Structure 1
Amino acid sequence: MDPKRTGDASGPRPGPPSGPAREAGGLLDVLSVAAVVLDRRGRIVLWSPQAQDLFGWSPAEALGRYAARLLVDEEHVEEVLELFADVMSGESWAGVFPARRKDGTSRLTEFRNMRLEGRHGDFYALGMATDHEVLREVERDLALSLRLVAQSPIGLAVLDTDLRFLLVNPTLERIHGVPAADHLGRRVREALPFADVDRIERDLTGVLRTGTPVLDRFVLGRAGGGATDDQAQLVSYYRLEDPGGRVLGLATSVVDITERNRAATDARRRLALIADASVLIGTTLDLDQTAHELADVVVPDLADFAAVDVLDTALDGIRPASSARAAAVFRALAVASVGPVGGAGAVDPARAADPPGEIAKYDADRLVTQCVTTGRPVHLPHVRPQDLPRIARDADAAELLARAGVHSYMAVPLIARGEVLGALDLKRTGNPRPFSEDDVVLAGELAARAAVCIDNARWYQRERATTVTLQRNLLPQRPPHLPGLRIASRYQPAGAAGKVGGDWFDAIPQDDGSGALVIGDVMGSGLSAAAAMGQLRTAARTLSGLGLDPAQVLDHLDRTAAGLDQMIATCVYAVYDPRRARCQLACAGHLPPVIVRSGHRPALVDLPTGAPLGVGGVRFESVTVELAPGDELVLYTDGLVETRDEAIDRRLGALCEALAHAPADLEATCDLLLADLCGHDDDVALLIARVADGAG
């Protein structure tokens, strides 16, 4: 070492080194490390530019002066001289010492001191110094950076310009499912062969070339480097540069949003299920159909198995006394399973084997009984072997559930208008996730919607049964024998409860040996229509005993109908006289009867239509038709022929065509007409009268 080297920047500068030399890093510039050389007497013989920056003295002011006098306060001189003697004896020293600056202030300075030997055997002391606070800040920043990378919940990696991994934090190890050692020094396609490496490397190369980052790209599954197929990630790539703008490499951050994505997916699934339920549940007022619609909506999106059970007391209209110790009797209305219902793939073969309407009794300790007793959901996220007897109906069913692999269970009550109607019973086997609290809320929402539909269906069913019973009791159970006629009849109630009620027929013997035939239809439905029908039928029977002309009978019935709270009805009233072989008919707004004659095509009787009963002030007209032995008169209500999508003329033509090919037996003819023409949208009353051989 040349002791005369001043350390200033004058003089020629060496050119750039040849060979493998590379550009220097910037850390020393950040630390501003100052170099100072002292001779064996402690005088300064080298003073670097960084020393001038750190302490304030120029080389001209510092060279040749004793360092202890220049840089150390009087009170610390003796201590410094002792340390200098130790260094000159060959011991190195490092530590923090308050150094004096030219402006008179003191600054804590980090020193690294060691002895140097010159070409001629002289000894010198080399001191490397930097600002203590700056060094601490760099160390702290470095430590924080390392901890930040190591402890970050975000996956972080650094790659060089050749796209090789230089750093991988523990979070990214977990996300990729690959140890850091298997990342470092490898390219993406080497470290993550299962990922979509072509796309990833294309993106990395683009970021490295342009500097434009890729931010928060959503990637699902192993294609993005995830350890599992359902892993969702937000991936970002950005270029790393030093303060001078030199490209150092790339950094990537990976945020695992699997749970967030799963929650969003579940939320969308729940909304879709609720939307489906609003459309698919309650399409009819049929109780069984409504229960099946509920079961079909929840399988397989919510459960692998679903059963809709309604309390037997709810169907009977009886409110049972509430008791925590009482058993519950259910009627199984619907069962749905991910496998074939009743087959080997069914989740609950014991329940799947039960036919619809099967009565099942569950003891008080069963979970479904607790559900309907308390009116609150029962939720077992994880079913243990000891739980199965509380889920199943009996021991055999519990064994079947165990074999099916039921691992999660819940039951939610079907509550409508404050009454518990039954329960929706749900199980999971193939779906590995247990029922969550959100699933319980969703099932409760679906059950609440379905319960109102089930309640409506059971009330309509009950009203329909009541109306049909009343209707049948008001109609003749078996038409009486009329002289010269053979009679067959049918009454078929509408499929919907709200449309049952107003159709009727009658056959009434008269004192003079003739017989009256009546067909009618009260507009409206339900119990009120059935009751009005009963009143009109009674009035018609009373009037038939007076021997009146059919038009006169309708005139009296019109006044009767007008007094029945604006009731409107249609009617055909006919009187057959076997002695004269003729029939008199009058019509009040009703469809015309069909006359069937041997050797002729069936035809509609040409009758004045008239106004419906209850309109009032309209005169009716009677028409006489000759009837020979074997001729038939077919009376019917509009439910037999009217449909929503065909004109009435076409339907009446279809009726005549069906009668043209009807069997000889009148009962069989009734069955044929109902089977071929009736749409079940409305009540149907049908009355066929055939003139007996030898009549007249």
Structure 2
Amino acid sequence: MGLEKRRPQQADPLAGAAADPSGLLDLLGVAAVLLEADGKIDMWSPQAEELFGYTGGEAVGQYAAPLLLHPEHQDAAVTLFAEVMRTGRRWAGAFPVRHKDGSTRMIEFRNVRLTDSLGDHYALGLAVDRVALRQMERKLALSNRLVSQAPIGLAVMDTELRYLAVNPALAAMHGVSEADHVGRGFREVLSDPAFEGAEALMRQVLETGTPVVEEQVVGRTAADPEQEHAWAVSVYRLEDHRGGVLGIANVVVDVTDRYRAARKADQAQRRLRMIADGSARIGTTLEVERTARELADVLVPGLADMVSVDLLDSVLQTGRTALGDGPALFRVVAVKTAYPTDAGRAMVPPGRLTTYHADHPASHCIRSRRPLLITHLSSGDHSRIAADSEAAALLARAGVHTDMAVPLIAREKVLGVMGLARARNPLPFDEDDLTLACELASSAALSIDNAVLHQHIRSAVETLQRSLLPQSPPRRPGLEVAVRYRPAQARDEVGGDWYDVIPLDGDRTALAVGDVMGSGIQAATAMGRLRTATATLADLDLDPARILTHLDKITRELDPYIATCVYAVYDPHRARLHVASAGHLPPALVRTGEQPRLLDLPTGTPLGVGGVPFESTTVELKPGDRLVLYTDGLVETRDDPIDERLQALLRLLAPPDQSVEETCDRLLRLLRHPADHDDVALLIACALPLAPS
């Protein structure tokens, strides 16, 4: 079985030599008729068969006038034909033509004389149905008017994205004339990098044929290079009647107003979110530095790339604004940058005292009590916002291009200033940004002023509290005593905890630890009165239970205060401790060779309640034994059960291999959290052998 030889395929001799034909002539159906000099039909095209109804066999050899024209028009047609043949001038016009089916149609003619190589003349007639031609003309005219008068941008581009035609609206949008568009590529006309995505979109439409409708594009054109504009762009592929790709059509609608309105709405929502965020996050404590850091955390990176918060040192020291004749003295309390940058090294670090030159934005704000907005910083302007020339160079290197300074004012008092700058964010600060910064500054300034006020009040109360406590415990026979007082942290006021070591006759010593419920100056004052009363009653040499009874009566006179207290008297000669409690946590006893334990005392009721008698208990306290008295701030927390915390205290007391001073420090370090909300009084007494008289 042999293989059949295949004839090689004949190549198209015109392939690659001729361009693809246009479909316009096909749409018009142009008929061609060749007439001899005497008017006889010599050639008849297929389009003529469709237009007139006669086949080539029926028409060729016939005289055209009798075949196609009504009798009343034949003479005029013959005269025109003779004129064309005689002079060689072309003629164009319309004649009513008789169709084979008997109907009459108005046909548009174009007649020209042709001469062959022998010098013989012929007439070439081109004919089109006038109705079809008028429809095409109306469509073209309508299309031209729609394109030229449309308020939206229209463009036709080839497969290489070169402009073939644009309308005036699009030329105005681009700031490039219609003539300068033609033949140029899309990215030649629109060079802004923002249009790279639009170019990729067009190539995708060319490749897939899937149209894209109202894709938003934002960029700058030569028509308005200083401002961003927005357009809704629709792109679809153009194909001929055979499906060949001709290019793309581009429909562009300017939606800048809508875009800017949407952006303003987004900015308004962002401002509201930042204000709400600031309300929730700024001022969570009564600590000045922390409040300033909270303000910086809200501003960066939402509004600025870098922020500094500076307060007047006079405000921090005295609570008052004191501006002398010289430059204002600031203390930097918070600095934050959105990312590592040289600008960070140009900013004065937190905690540092500094002054600024007279033209610095901070100096301007302090003097004028008004914010300062610098929308654009040129290369030589950075010295205006920098502390010195080196800082100016760092700011310029970091790309800082816009700056804002806003005073911190509360209760008509200037507290300081916050400075904001942008580098990586390309947008300059505007009036809306300034309004937002001022709103946040106003809210934060009130929180900072409250924190400053609290700091001064707390300092005064703490000073009062410490002045009411013994400065150092006296040395007593048979006892080694260590005491500690720790005030509550900055978020809370000083409380009413106290301790006392009171010498008594016969080498005896009274030990007391108490806690007035409440905080502030009133609690500290009540504590001072109770401590004074305790010392006075101790001189009466009363039993501890009787001492508490008298203190209860005094406390009731201090209404509405209530206090807890442990009062004990140690006799070193008998190694006896007499102790009574008024609603206080039980003391801990640490004895060599035994596990630390809490003394089992009648708890009693707090001082100020009244009506319940107190009881004294006697405990042996031999040399080497330790008694630990404390207030609830040492062991109580908001999250842990009190029993677990008391067990933790006992574990830390065993074994007693440290001095009483070291034990005090250890308990405070391991039991007390830096943010604890209560103050602490701690007293540890260790029994010692009596020295010989």
TM-score (norm 2): 0.72
CA distance in 2 between counterparts of 1:598 and 1:333 reads 51
SS in 2 for 1:558: helix
What is the aligned partner in structure 2 of residue 685 from structure 1? 681
Aligned residues: 621
1:521: how far off? 0.9
51 and 256 in structure 1: CA distance in 2 versus 1, 3 angstrom threshold: closer
Query: Does the 8 Å CA contact 2:319/2:456 hold for their aligned counterparts?
Result: no
Matched to 1:293, the amino acid is: E
Determine whether 1:295 maps to 2:296.
yes
What is the aligned partner in structure 1 of residue 625 from structure 2? 631
CA distance in 1 between counterparts of 2:637 and 2:125 reads 112
SS in 2 for 1:619: coil
1:563: how far off? 2.5
SS in 1 for 2:663: helix
SS in 2 for 1:295: helix
Matched to 2:315, the amino acid is: A
What is the aligned partner in structure 2 of residue 425 from structure 1? 419
1:505: how far off? 0.8
283 and 549 in structure 1: CA distance in 2 versus 1, 3 angstrom threshold: same
- Structure 2 runs not aligned, ≥5 long: 1-13, 39-43, 53-64, 97-106, 176-180, 187-195, 220-227
464 and 203 in structure 1: CA distance in 2 versus 1, 3 angstrom threshold: same
Matched to 1:684, the amino acid is: V
Aligned counterparts, 1:398-413, within 5 A: 398-413=392-407
SS in 2 for 1:440: helix
Determine whether 1:394 maps to 2:394.
no
523 and 157 in structure 1: CA distance in 2 versus 1, 3 angstrom threshold: farther
447 and 111 in structure 1: CA distance in 2 versus 1, 3 angstrom threshold: farther
Matched to 1:530, the amino acid is: A
1:297: how far off? 4.1
SS in 2 for 1:347: helix
Query: Does the 8 Å CA contact 2:575/2:620 hold for their aligned counterparts?
Result: yes
CA distance in 1 between counterparts of 2:587 and 2:444 reads 45
Query: Does the 8 Å CA contact 1:40/1:125 hold for their aligned counterparts?
Result: no
Query: Does the 8 Å CA contact 1:87/1:113 hold for their aligned counterparts?
Result: no
What is the aligned partner in structure 1 of residue 41 from structure 2? none
SS in 2 for 1:657: helix
1:588: how far off? 0.9
CA distance in 1 between counterparts of 2:446 and 2:164 reads 57
> Structure 2 residue aligned with 1:462, among 456, 479, 484?
456
1:378: how far off? 1.6
Query: Does the 8 Å CA contact 1:338/1:346 hold for their aligned counterparts?
Result: no
1:587: how far off? 0.5
What is the aligned partner in structure 2 of residue 333 from structure 1? 333
1:503: how far off? 0.8
What is the aligned partner in structure 2 of residue 548 from structure 1? 542
217 and 385 in structure 1: CA distance in 2 versus 1, 3 angstrom threshold: closer
Matched to 1:603, the amino acid is: R
* Worse-matched range after superposition: 662-671 or 679-688: 662-671
Q: Percent identity?
A: 46
1:468: how far off? 1.3
Determine whether 1:479 maps to 2:477.
no
What is the aligned partner in structure 2 of residue 595 from structure 1? 589
SS in 2 for 1:523: strand
Query: Does the 8 Å CA contact 1:116/1:126 hold for their aligned counterparts?
Result: no
CA distance in 1 between counterparts of 2:111 and 2:414 reads 89
Query: Does the 8 Å CA contact 1:348/1:404 hold for their aligned counterparts?
Result: no
Determine whether 1:304 maps to 2:305.
yes
> Structure 1 residue aligned with 2:690, among 669, 690, 694?
694
Matched to 1:545, the amino acid is: D
Matched to 1:631, the amino acid is: D
Query: Does the 8 Å CA contact 1:338/1:347 hold for their aligned counterparts?
Result: no
What is the aligned partner in structure 2 of residue 673 from structure 1? 667
1:590: how far off? 0.6
545 and 24 in structure 1: CA distance in 2 versus 1, 3 angstrom threshold: same
68 and 586 in structure 1: CA distance in 2 versus 1, 3 angstrom threshold: farther
What is the aligned partner in structure 2 of residue 227 from structure 1? none
What is the aligned partner in structure 1 of residue 287 from structure 2? 286
367 and 88 in structure 1: CA distance in 2 versus 1, 3 angstrom threshold: farther
Query: Does the 8 Å CA contact 1:508/1:516 hold for their aligned counterparts?
Result: yes
CA distance in 2 between counterparts of 1:67 and 1:414 reads 102
1:32: how far off? 11
198 and 347 in structure 1: CA distance in 2 versus 1, 3 angstrom threshold: closer
> Structure 2 residue aligned with 1:566, among 552, 560, 568?
560
Query: Does the 8 Å CA contact 2:155/2:163 hold for their aligned counterparts?
Result: no
1:377: how far off? 2.7
Matched to 2:336, the amino acid is: A
What is the aligned partner in structure 2 of residue 361 from structure 1? 355
Determine whether 1:519 maps to 2:509.
no
Matched to 1:689, the amino acid is: A
Query: Does the 8 Å CA contact 1:508/1:515 hold for their aligned counterparts?
Result: yes
Can you list the C-alpha shifts for 1:406-443, whole angstroms capped at 9, x where unaligned?
32222223344554322221223344443344443443
Matched to 2:631, the amino acid is: T
Query: Does the 8 Å CA contact 2:567/2:581 hold for their aligned counterparts?
Result: yes
CA distance in 2 between counterparts of 1:346 and 1:462 reads 37
SS in 2 for 1:633: strand
419 and 247 in structure 1: CA distance in 2 versus 1, 3 angstrom threshold: farther
Matched to 1:560, the amino acid is: I
199 and 35 in structure 1: CA distance in 2 versus 1, 3 angstrom threshold: closer
- Structure 1 runs not aligned, ≥5 long: 1-18, 53-57, 71-79, 101-108, 185-193, 222-229
Query: Does the 8 Å CA contact 2:623/2:689 hold for their aligned counterparts?
Result: yes
CA distance in 1 between counterparts of 2:155 and 2:414 reads 52
Determine whether 1:314 maps to 2:315.
yes
32 and 449 in structure 1: CA distance in 2 versus 1, 3 angstrom threshold: farther
What is the aligned partner in structure 1 of residue 486 from structure 2? 492
113 and 213 in structure 1: CA distance in 2 versus 1, 3 angstrom threshold: same
SS in 1 for 2:381: helix
